[in-house]
Amino acid sequence: MKNHTSEDPCVEYLSSSQIFQDYAEAFTSGTGLPLNIVSPEMLRMARYEDAQQNPFCVLLAQKNNSCAACYKVQCALEEEAQLEAKTMKCFAGMCETAVPLREGGKVIAFLRTGQVLLHTPDRTKFNKIAQQLIDWGSLVDLKRVEEAFFGTRVFTEAKYEALIRLLSIFARHLAASANALKLAETQSDSAAVGQAKSHIQTHVGDDLSLGTVAKVVNTSASHFSYKFKQATGINFSEYVSLTRVEKARNLLENPNLRVSEIAFAVGFQSLSQYNRTFKRVTGQVPGSYRRSLAR
């Protein structure tokens, strides 16, 4: 099941992960609502799978003016949902919701759902929709639009808000695992890239220069650098940094290990480098991260 619209490597890893696939299937099966994951720059252009789309939205998306109205809602969502989940309604009253996945102080992706009504459809509301479509000059079959509108899934505001809270909780867990997912070996990895990843994971505290690891996989540094970036979406040095931060995260759960001790155990050459890199990836310095674990 493919629930994303992006070639962003981070979103690719998240969307293909088992945790997302299982959650998305359960969410859609249990609620009847669509769910996809998109990169920040793709939110306004993303579409749900055809099988998940609300027939009403499908009909309106075929017409330029109504499609432009939907696009306006997506743009507003992109602006408003940077810090927390936001829900907005289109001219027809259909809700669209974006839930941010944040890591290291920035949005790395959005969970997106919607195409649902929070009120029972009635004749008065549909007449206003029909008039708006006529005013726009949309040559749409109003009978089909009417049937789709009255067939739209309806949630109470309280139930929909509860679903979005669940998505927000899931988003936090998914964002927390984003780094580990990017580091994992995948079936599409070449033998050299897979071997390099394994070597980095098991020798995280050692010298892991590009040249050193290229020798391990029996290839030139330049060729290895290109193939590694092509396979992972990040360059070699960034992959090593992420691996070290992820290892440090695990070790910080052990209260018997000093923060400074962990820094050198995972291969950082100085405490300043450790603090700077850890904060860039997680949004917190190691000491603050450890304290947050105890809450």
Domain ranges within the chain, ordered by starting residue? 9-179, 188-293
The pLDDT, as a whole number, for residue 106 is 82
The pLDDT, as a whole number, for residue 187 is 64
The pLDDT, as a whole number, for residue 45 is 64
Query: Tokens 């102080």 sit at which residue?
Result: 105
> Hey, what CATH topology would domain 188-293 get?
Arc Repressor Mutant, subunit A (1.10.10)
Query: Tokens 């920035």 sit at which residue?
Result: 106
What's the rounded Cα separation, in Å, for the pair 269 and 232?
A: 25
The pLDDT, as a whole number, for residue 232 is 82
The pLDDT, as a whole number, for residue 66 is 63
pTM listed for this prediction = 0.73
Q: Which residues contact 281 (CB under 8 A, 6 or more apart)?
A: 103, 104, 179, 241, 242, 245
Is domain 9-179 classified as CATH 1.10.10?
Answer: no
What's the rounded Cα separation, in Å, for the pair 181 and 175?
A: 10
Phi-psi region of 265 (alpha: psi -120 to 50; beta: other; left: phi over 0): alpha
The pLDDT, as a whole number, for residue 1 is 45
Q: Could you read off the pLDDT tens digit of each residue along the chain, which spans 295 residues?
A: 444 444 556 787 788 888 899 999 999 999 999 999 988 877 666 677 777 888 998 888 776 666 667 777 888 888 888 889 999 998 999 999 999 998 777 888 899 999 999 999 999 999 999 998 888 887 788 999 999 999 999 999 999 999 999 999 999 888 877 777 777 766 667 888 889 999 999 999 998 999 999 999 999 999 999 999 888 878 999 999 999 999 999 999 998 999 999 999 999 999 999 999 998 888 889 999 888 877 6
What's the rounded Cα separation, in Å, for the pair 54 and 121?
A: 14
Phi-psi region of 137 (alpha: psi -120 to 50; beta: other; left: phi over 0): left
The candidate with the shortest Cα–Cα distance to 243, out of 184, 187, 194, is: 184
